[in-house]
Amino acid sequence: QVQLVESGGGLVQAGGSLRLSCSASGRTFTSSAMAWFRQSPGREREFVAAASRGGESTYYADSVQDRFTISRDNAQMTVDLQMNMLKPEDTGVYYCAAALGLIGVAANEYAYWGQGTQVTVSS
């Protein structure tokens, strides 16, 4: 199993930056693809970014491509999301997720979830 705890959310003005961090515990972290999802009120949870088990492959939602960067440190058991050029539509609760096996973009492919961290981008 993998336990996940997110941190780094907050309030930022449009155009600003935030860095989210997800700290993991458990023996299967290095066997897990890791991802970030987000959810805003009235909307379904949506994929943001994912990294493969070794971090060599990454995927991004079109809406965050070239603005967000996902990275992982298997030795530290962390996965970060650097968010630049933030927009009001990036507002939401951001969740870290882990999937045993291959990288994916669907929420139902991820078995383990953190509690979420709020990101609010003001215009």
Tell me: the pLDDT tens digits for 65-107? 999 999 999 999 999 999 999 999 999 999 999 998 788 999 9
Backbone angles phi, psi at 108, to 5 degrees: -75, 0
Confidence check: pLDDT of 37 > 90: yes
φ/ψ bin of 115: left (φ > 0), alpha (ψ from -120 to 50), beta (otherwise): alpha
Contact call for residues 35 and 46 (beta carbons, < 8 A): no
Token pair listed for 106: 């669907």
For 31, the token pair is 């066997």
Percent of the chain at pLDDT above 70?
100
